[in-house]
Structure formats: C-alpha cells, structure tokens
C-alpha cells in the first residue's frame, strides 16, 4: 500500500492518519463484500420497512458522522422515494421532540466510528422513547462499542459492522467516514450502485499514489494561507462540510476553514475571503448543477490571487476550461482530477473527492509542526467526545 506523501517519519505523529487515508481503497472493496454478504439479512430487515409509504428515514451521527448523512440524504431520498432527513445526534439529543415531531414509522440510521460517544447512544434511546415505532440500522466501526453491543440483541435493530481497520486510531475520522457512507449507500441503494466501490477505489488510489497530487497540494498551501473555503452543491455540500472539519481538526484550529454551497456562498459567507485565502470547489457530475459550481469557480478565480482556487472534478471539460483560465498561474490552480468517475452520482463521487481534503488537512497540519494523530495534546478536544452530561426527558 502506497502512503500519501511517502513514508511518514516515526517522529512526526502522523503514522495512524497517513495509514488510514491510504487504506481507504482497500477497505472500500472490503465494505462492498461485507454488504453483499449481508444482503439477505439486510433485505429481511429493510424490505418490509421500505415498502411502507409513510416511512421516514433519519440519518444521524455527530460531527463527521453527521456529514455522512448530509452527503447521503439527497441521493437516498431520490432513490427510495421516501422522506429522508439528515439530523445530527447533537440536534436530536438536545431537541428530540422537535427533531422527531411527526410520530410516523421511522428508520433511524446511526453512523458511529466508536459507538461510545454519549450522543450516539442517547439518540437511539430517545427515538425509542419519543416515537411509537422506530427501527434502527446501526453502521459502526467498533464491534465492542456501546451502540453495537446494545443493538445487536434488539429485534428492531440491525447492526452493520465495518472492517475493524476502519475504526481509525488517528484523531480525525478518515476511513471510518468513507466506509460507513459507502456501506449505507450500498445497503439502501442496492443494485443501483453495483460496481461503484471498485471505481471509487481506483480513483482514490490514483490520487493517493500520485506524486503530482503531492506537488499540487503543496503548491496550494505554499503561500501559508490563513483561510480555506470548500464549496459544493447537493451531496457535495455535505462533502464541503466534512472537508472543512478535517482541516480544522488536523490543524488544531489554526487554519480557518469554511464550507458552503456554491450558490449560498455569495449570501454572506463570501465575507471570509481575503488575500490569504484559498478555495476548493467540488464540481458536480450533474450537468445542470455543475453550471453553478463552474460559475462560482470562475468568480473566485477573479477574486483571489493566482494559484489560490482549485476545482475538483471528474469531468475532463472542467480540467480543460480551468486550465485555459489559469494558464500561466501557479501549479496549485486549475482542476484536480477524479479519474474514471465521469457519470458517477455525486453521492459516490464525494468519497473519492474527500481524499483531496484529507491530504490538504494532513499537509497543513505537518506544515504547522503539529502531530496529526493528536493535534490537541492538551486534551481539550478528544477522539471520543467527553464532558457531555445527558439529561432525562420527561413527558
């Protein structure tokens, strides 16, 4: 397995993060096999639920796990023909009666790396308390976590375990995020996504193993930017949110990261831009949506210094157009490719595209002299959230 940016030094505190970014293509192939092997059990659990016209599907998790739901929500709503909502556990626990105001049959899909975060466990219990009928699909990377153990014995629950290696030991979620998102897509999207895992794995391998990517990521960060903006539309807005969080986490909050939709950015958030900003625009594979991504990319190229704006795209036309606009500028500008992913739905495209954000965050962390495996050595932020007091809900 080739690792990003070569072999990490044992002294730079990045060994886990580097390995966990690099292992994603192999783990996606394994996830594909896990879901296929679980298909009969999944169908027995899911088919009666998805046949109900009044079913509501709620995708939930905290932090990065919440962004898994945001990436998936538009595609699954379209694919299932059912109401699908992405609701963070942090919202659900704080306001269960508001988030679950409609007492309708509900499938709660919980994403959890460890399954030991206080909100992960509380969200499922509160759903059981507030709703008359709720079923649980738990997608987790930790067989020994509280969430997996609790729901493995419940008749209204199904636990889908990810490869053990996806339970990232590094501070930030990388392979855990992509594995759980892919698993949900394959489990709920069924045959519509046959073969997509292999395409995503090949694209990610080409990114991770490319010396050109190493150079272009380095060039984007060469000016030591103070602010970075990630933009995307539809499922790629959830990707932008996750990208910004990766940068904030791995740089210990020293590089301000902002996420928005391509259209929403002009409505106030654009105020973040200054001459020390860089921007990454995730280009949709949908021809209509991509026009808005191209518009904001062109606008940013006119607003920011040369070499400060990147388009991440599977479309060769974006690469050619971007190259024409930025000809003669620094290597960090232009389009970063997602090879072999033309025509792939944005929900899947996001899983290969996020590798670029993970590499940006990793390099930015190392450039600041931080240890990506633990960018908060004083413990003010932890790998598994601590310090949450759970309060009883009384009817």
Q: What are phi and psi of 112, to 5 degrees?
A: -155, 120
Residue 262 corresponds to which tokens in the numbers above? 């391509």
Which tens digit of pLDDT belongs to each residue from 219-255?
999 989 999 999 999 999 999 999 999 999 999 999 9
The predicted pLDDT at position 332 comes to 39
Q: What is the pLDDT of residues 115-147, one digit of tens each?
A: 998 888 899 999 999 999 999 999 999 999 999
Close Cβ partners of 167 (under 8 Å, ≥ 6 residues apart): 113, 114, 141, 142, 176
Which residue is listed with tokens 């030591």? 224
pTM, full prediction: 0.93
157-161 and 256-260 strand pairing: unpaired
Note the CATH number of domain 38-194.
Answer: 3.40.50.10490
Q: What is the pLDDT of residue 8?
A: 54
pLDDT digit string (tens) for 3-28?
Answer: 776 555 556 899 999 999 999 999 99
pLDDT value at 383 more than 70: no
pLDDT score, position 316:
76
Exposed, middle or buried: residue 121 (CB in 10 Å: 0-12, 13-18, 19+)?
buried
Q: What is the pLDDT of residue 353?
A: 98
* Percent of the chain clearing pLDDT 70 (strictly above): 91
The answer to whether 187 touches 46, Cβ cutoff 8 Å, is yes
pLDDT at 384 over 90: no
Lowest mean pLDDT among 71-85, 286-300, 327-341, 351-365: 327-341
What pLDDT, in 10s, does the model give residues 148-163? Answer: 999 999 999 999 999 9
pLDDT tier for residue 325 given thresholds of 50, 70 and 90: very low
Give residue limits of the domains in the chain: 38-194, 209-367
Give the distance from CA 211 to its chain's centroid.
24
288-302 pLDDT tens trace: 999 999 999 999 999
Same fold? 38-194, 209-367: yes
Whole-number mean pLDDT of the chain?
Answer: 91
Task: Give residue 375's pLDDT band: very low, low, confident or very high (50, 70, 90).
Answer: confident
pLDDT for res 117: 85
Percentage of residues in the chain having pLDDT higher than 90: 83
pLDDT band at 334 (very low <50, low <70, confident <90, very high): confident
Q: What CATH number was assigned to the domain covering residues 209-367?
A: 3.40.50.10490
Among candidate residues 256, 267, 258, 235, the one with its CA nearest the CA of residue 364: 256
Residue 49 has pLDDT above 80, yes or no: yes
Q: What share of the chain is helix, strand, coil (3-state, %, to 5)?
A: 50, 15, 35
What digits encode the pLDDT tens for the residues 166-214? 999 999 999 999 999 999 999 999 888 999 999 999 999 999 999 989 8
């Amino acid at each position: 397995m080739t690792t990003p940016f070569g072999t990490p030094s044992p002294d730079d505190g990045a060994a886990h993060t580097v390995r966990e970014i690099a292992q994603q293509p192999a783990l996606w192939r394994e996830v594909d096999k896990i879901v296929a092997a679980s298909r009969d059990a999944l169908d027995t659990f899911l088919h009666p639920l998805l046949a109900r016209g009044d079913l509501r599907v709620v995708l939930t998790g905290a932090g990065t796990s919440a962004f898994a739901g945001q990436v998936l929500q538009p595609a699954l709503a379209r694919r299932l023909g059912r109401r699908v909502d992405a609701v963070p556990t942090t919202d659900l626990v704080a306001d269960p009666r508001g988030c679950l105001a409609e007492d309708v049959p509900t499938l709660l899909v919980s994403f959890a790396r460890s399954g030991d975060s206080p909100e992960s466990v509380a969200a499922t219990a509160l759903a059981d308390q507030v709703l008359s009928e709720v079923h649980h699909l738990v997608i987790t990377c930790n067989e020994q976590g509280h969430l997996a153990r609790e729901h493995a014995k419940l008749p209204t629950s199904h636990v889908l375990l990810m490869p053990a290696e996806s339970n990232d030991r590094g501070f930030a979620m990388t392979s855990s995020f992509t594995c759980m998102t892919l698993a949900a897509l394959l489990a709920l999207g069924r045959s519509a996504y046959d073969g997509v895992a292999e395409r995503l794995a090949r694209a990610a391998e080409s990114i991770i193993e490319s010396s050109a990517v190493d150079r272009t990521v380095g060039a984007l960060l060469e000016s030591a930017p103070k602010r970075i903006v990630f933009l995307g539309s539809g499922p790629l807005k959830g990707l932008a949110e996750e990208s910004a969080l990766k940068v904030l986490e791995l740089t210990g909050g020293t590089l301000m990261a902002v996420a928005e939709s391509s259209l929403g950015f002009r409505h106030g958030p654009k105020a973040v831009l200054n001459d020390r900003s860089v921007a990454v625009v995730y280009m949709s594979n949908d021809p209509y949506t991509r026009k808005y991504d191209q518009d904001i990319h062109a606008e940013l190229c006119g607003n920011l210094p040369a070499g400060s704006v990147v388009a991440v795209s599977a479309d060769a036309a974006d690469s050619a157009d971007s190259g024409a606009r930025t000809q003669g500028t620094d290597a960090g500008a232009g389009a970063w490719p997602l090879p072999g992913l033309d025509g792939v739905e944005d929900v899947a495209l996001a899983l290969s595209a996020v590798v670029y954000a993970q590499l940006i965050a990793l390099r930015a962390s190392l450039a600041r002299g931080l240890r990506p495996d633990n960018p908060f050595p004083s413990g003010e932020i932890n790998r598994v959230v601590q310090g949450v007091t759970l309060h009883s809900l009384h009817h």
